[in-house]
Amino acid sequence: MEASSIQFAAAARVLGDAARSQGLTAPSFRSPPRLKADRTLLRRRTTVSTVAVRVRGRPWLAVLGDLIEGVVVSNGLAGPEADGCRTALWAAVEEHGLAKQEPPGAGGRVEPTEARTTVDPTPGWRKRHTQAA
């Protein structure tokens, strides 16, 4: 499942709250990164870090993993401390139902045999044909 900007915003809020509850600094989150990369981290001397993650065209769990890793790296965590932080952040997103493969309400799926679209020889026109089951 491809990630959405609404999921991204919800995850950013949850991860920020979870980071603060662990006594960490919550980075700011943005999408897409300014560089051609899936994820970037911008550190500043006077303000918090900015974690930028590309959402479009990527699986949701990959985006979520990059957001979590951004919190860990922006706080300079390593070893067991980083592992504990990752575990707590994953638990927080799971608690809020954000660690699922499918978005909420995506259960209804149209089978490919129910409807077919054919292209009319006239450019710019499409005809929709439905088949009886």
pLDDT tens track for 59-115: 999 999 999 999 999 999 999 999 999 999 999 999 999 988 654 444 434 344 444
pLDDT at residue 16 is higher than 90 = yes
* pLDDT value at residue 127: 44
Q: Are 33 and 41 in contact (CB under 8 A)?
A: no
- Say what the pTM is: 0.72
* pLDDT value at residue 73: 92
Domain range annotation of the chain? 1-133
> Strand runs (DSSP E) across 34-114, as ranges?
39-42, 50-53
What is the C-alpha to C-alpha distance for residues 28 and 81, in angstroms, rounded to an integer? 21
Low-confidence winner among 14-18, 43-47, 70-74 (lowest mean pLDDT): 43-47
Quick one: what percent of the chain has pLDDT higher than 70?
Answer: 71
* pLDDT value at residue 51: 93
